């Protein structure tokens, strides 16, 4: 990129307390409701609500769902693979945070 080119970044900041329905999460992430249900069954997310129609997902779930969709599309991971990858990414983030705390 040369100095005359402009780069625009677009994004939204979603707070933890914001909630999304299953349909909203599907629209935002591009994932199917079947994929989201499978990811929930594998423990990748924990929605609030007893029944599928009552499920509400937090802002944290939204970020995880976006990552899950990318893992599914880009790496062709199945639901157990997505859940494992998300857990490993969480562990990496925790280790980075710990390392930063110790001045590393």
pLDDT tens digits for 60-90? 899 999 999 999 999 999 999 999 999 999 9
Domain ranges of the chain: 22-101
Cβ 31 vs Cβ 25: under 8 Å: yes
> Is residue 86 within 8 Å of residue 64, measured between CB atoms?
yes
- Contact status, residue 26 vs residue 32, Cβ threshold 8 Å: yes
Q: Indicate the average pLDDT of the chain.
A: 88
pLDDT in tens, 13-64: 556 678 999 999 999 999 999 999 999 999 999 999 999 999 999 998 999 9
Residue 57 sits at φ, ψ, to 5 deg, of -110, 140
pTM, 2 dp: 0.80
Decide if pLDDT at 6 tops 50. Answer: yes
Region label for 65, one of left (φ > 0), alpha (ψ between -120 and 50) or beta (otherwise)? alpha
CATH no. for 22-101: 1.10.1660.10
């Amino acid at each position: 990129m040369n100095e005359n080119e402009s780069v625009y970044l677009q994004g939204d900041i979603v707070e933890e307390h914001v909630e999304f329905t299953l349909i909203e999460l599907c629209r935002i992430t591009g994932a199917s409701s079947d994929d989201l249900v499978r990811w929930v069954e594998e423990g990748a997310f924990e929605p609030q609500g007893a029944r599928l129609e009552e499920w509400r997902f937090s802002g944290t779930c939204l970020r995880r769902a976006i990552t899950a969709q990318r893992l599914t599309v880009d790496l062709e991971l199945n639901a157990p693979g997505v859940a494992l990858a998300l857990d490993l990414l969480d562990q990496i983030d925790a280790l980075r945070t710990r390392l930063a705390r110790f001045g590393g």
